[in-house]
Amino acid sequence: MSTPLMEARGLQLRFGRVAALDDVAIDIHPGEVVAIVGESGSGKTTLLRVLSGLMRPDAGAVTYRGEDVLAMPEAARRRLMRTEWGFVHQNPRDGLRLGVTAGGNIGERLMAVGARHYGNIRAEATEWLKRVEIDPARMDDIPGKFSGGMQQRLQIARVLVTRPKLVFMDEPTGGLDVSVQARLLDLIRALVADLGLAVLIVTHDIAAARLLAHRILVMRQGQVVEEGLTDRVLDDPQHAYTQLLVSSVLAA
Ligand SMILES: Nc1ncnc2c1ncn2[C@@H]1O[C@H](COP(=O)(O)OP(=O)(O)OP(=O)(O)O)[C@@H](O)[C@H]1O
Ligand SMILES: [Mg+2]
């Protein structure tokens, strides 16, 4: 077994009376795709935010390659966010700069890690637009002119261009039409395999978890109630809540 890329133990976070995280533990190994499923309000987004250092837990520990994420100076955490980590937001507008062209959205991330040569940046942006199936002729358009699915693909290009090792995705296909979702999932699956990314993906969609994830964590009321290999969890769920989740999908 490889050493985990990220490890968290004993995470606790309360909002008033609500325990958004109640003693959560998670490991993510290099190249592993882990899906977090669970009902609305179960703490999925909070977990991503805490792991990526966007929010501080009340208690617990998070390490990235053995380094204490919670003790890291803000500048070091921001550097990880620009380089080794990526965050794909459910709403692409939260992950894009809307006043900047599509090419600029990709180029900006490259410049943040030190790229300076205009021609190279533009060439790489062209390459990434193609990879996410956006016509490079749209390079100089602003994201507002794109459809929701295109905006999400652009956000993914912006995140992946710097070749992060660990990517957090919060319902990346959330607001999209079903046909657009399927295509985006295929694209995510291909990119993840190709780049050998470790991914922590939050999804309501059991079929998406089945397609993408090696492992599944089921959350309910701030707790991980079940976890295991994807096929085991979905084909032989042990916890009553997971059984309900899986059977409600089959019935739908
Ligand atoms: N900033 C906040 N202030 C107060 N309460 C919050 C805050 N963020 C989350 N919560 C509460 O914490 C709980 C977990 O919220 P979270 O957003 O993590 O759920 P989720 O599983 O992502 O839900 P959804 O599937 O609807 O996105 C909820 O009860 C929510 O109302
Ligand atoms: Mg959420």
What are 104-130's pLDDT values in tens digits?
999 999 998 888 899 999 999 999 999
pLDDT at position 26:
98
Any domain includes 223: yes
pLDDT at position 97:
96
Q: Where are the alpha helices (DSSP H) in 176-216?
A: 178-195, 206-212
Q: Are residues 157 and 169 in the same domain?
A: no
The upper half-sphere exposure of residue 8, i.e. CA atoms within 13 Å in the direction of its Cβ, equals 26
Question: Which ligand sits closest to the CA of 204?
Answer: 1
Pocket of ligand 1 (CB under 6 A): 15, 18, 20, 38, 40-46
CA pair distance 209, 36, nearest whole angstrom: 8
pLDDT at position 2:
76
Work out the average pLDDT over 180-186: 88
Q: Are residues 110 and 141 in the same domain?
A: yes
Q: Are residues 107 and 141 in the same domain?
A: yes
User: At residue 150, does pLDDT exceed 90?
Assistant: yes
Q: Are residues 134 and 184 in the same domain?
A: no
Q: Are residues 34 and 76 in the same domain?
A: yes
Q: Which residues surround ligand 2, an ion (CB under 5 A)?
A: 45
Please give the distance, rounded to the nearest whole angstrom, from the Cα atom of residue 13 to the centre of ligand 1.
Answer: 11
Atom in ligand 1 nearest the alpha carbon of residue 202 = 22
What are 37-66's pLDDT values in tens digits?
998 999 999 999 999 998 999 999 999 999
Any domain includes 95: no
Range of the domain at 140: 100-162
Closest CA to 6 of 112, 76, 80, 74: 80
Q: For a substitution probing ligand 1, which of 14, 15, 173, 224 has the most ligand atoms within 8 Å of its CB?
A: 15
The last residue of a domain, from among 162, 189, 205? 162
Question: Which ligand sits closest to the CA of 54?
Answer: 1
Q: Are residues 80 and 168 in the same domain?
A: yes
pLDDT level of residue 179 (50, 70, 90 thresholds): confident
Any domain includes 118: yes
Q: Are residues 131 and 67 in the same domain?
A: no
Please give the distance, rounded to the nearest whole angstrom, from the Cα atom of residue 32 to the centre of ligand 1.
Answer: 25
Work out the average pLDDT over 72-86: 92
User: At residue 252, does pLDDT exceed 60?
Assistant: no
CA pair distance 121, 79, nearest whole angstrom: 20
Cβ atoms < 10 Å from Cβ of 104: 19
pLDDT at position 175:
79
Any domain includes 93: no
Any domain includes 89: no
* List of residues 6+ apart from 208 with CB closer than 8 A: 35, 173, 181, 185, 201
pLDDT at position 65:
95
Please give the distance, rounded to the nearest whole angstrom, from the Cα atom of residue 44 to the centre of ligand 2.
Answer: 5
What are 6-23's pLDDT values in tens digits?
999 999 999 999 999 999
The last residue of a domain, from among 162, 183, 202? 162
Any domain includes 94: no
Work out the average pLDDT over 91-115: 94
Please give the distance, rounded to the nearest whole angstrom, from the Cα atom of residue 98 to the centre of ligand 2.
Answer: 22
The last residue of a domain, from among 132, 162, 192? 162
CA pair distance 160, 168, nearest whole angstrom: 11
- The H-or-E segment that residue 26 falls in is strand 18-28
Could you give the strand order of the β-sheet that contains 59-64, starting from the edge strand earlier in sequence?
18-28, 6-15, 59-64, 67-68
- Which residue lies with its CA nearest to atom 24 of ligand 1? 40
CATH number of domain containing 17: 3.40.50.300
- Computed over every residue of the chain, the mean pLDDT equals 93
User: At residue 86, does pLDDT exceed 60?
Assistant: yes
Any domain includes 28: yes
User: At residue 209, does pLDDT exceed 60?
Assistant: yes
Q: Are residues 231 and 116 in the same domain?
A: no
CA pair distance 108, 96, nearest whole angstrom: 10
pLDDT at position 251:
59
Number of domains in the chain: 2
Please give the distance, rounded to the nearest whole angstrom, from the Cα atom of residue 18 to the centre of ligand 1.
Answer: 9
Please give the distance, rounded to the nearest whole angstrom, from the Cα atom of residue 225 to the centre of ligand 1.
Answer: 17
Q: For a substitution probing ligand 1, which of 12, 21, 22, 44 has the most ligand atoms within 8 Å of its CB?
A: 44
